[in-house]
Amino acid sequence: MWKRERPERTDLEHTMTEPTAPVVPAIRPIAPPPAPVVEASSERASGKGSTLGATLRFKGDLVADEDLVVQGQVEGSILHTRSLTIGAQGRMHGDIRSRRIVVEGSVDGNLYALENVILRSGATVHGDVFAPRIAIDEGARLSGRIDTDNAPAVPTIYIPVPSSTEPAARELTDEDAGVLLSGS
């Protein structure tokens, strides 16, 4: 009357060794992180400037004819015809010759500027500064002398004149400097 059917017996040993299908969790796409906001000056946005990044180290003489920001380390001299900035992370060991120089980081060498030198707060300069105009922000440190009387002048170069066998001396213009520096 109350007879119940018993389910089939299962073989526990077989059940325990039988592989089971792995459970795969659902994969959800991960949104990429938002792009960092970078403020670029109008010079850099137009592609007229370059940056030597914070992780780069340069050893030797650097010659450039475009605006340059140095955030890395440079060991040697820099000859530059435009605006040069030694950024807050930048470290320079050697002399700098440029039209305009802005120092936010550290320079161990002399600065020669045709127009002006600006030492921003946090800048450290160990060397002499030669420029007609110099600005030093509060918090900048300078160990050396400042000379505005003997500031560098536009260098004189000798360019052969086609109608003469003697080369004619004339002042170096921005265009001439660009040609000389590019090696053309």
Q: Decide: 125 and 107 in contact? Cβ < 8 Å.
A: yes
Note the pTM of the prediction, 2 decimals: 0.59
pLDDT the model gives residue 104: 96
139 or 37, greater pLDDT: 139
Interval 116-141 mean pLDDT: 95
pLDDT the model gives residue 36: 47
Whole-angstrom distance, CA of residue 88 vs CA of residue 35: 23
Who's near 175: CB < 8 A, 6+ residues apart? none
15-29, 79-93, 158-172: which range is least confident on average? 158-172
Task: Read off the pLDDT of residues 85-94 as tens digits, 9 standing for 90 and up.
Answer: 999 999 999 9
State the maximum Cα–Cα separation within the chain, in Å, rounded to a whole number. 133
Who's near 68: CB < 8 A, 6+ residues apart? 49, 50, 51, 52, 80, 82, 83, 84, 85
User: Does the pLDDT value for residue 153 go beyond 70?
Assistant: no
Task: Read off the pLDDT of residues 28-87 as tens digits, 9 standing for 90 and up.
Answer: 555 555 544 444 333 333 446 788 899 989 999 888 888 999 999 999 998 888 899 999
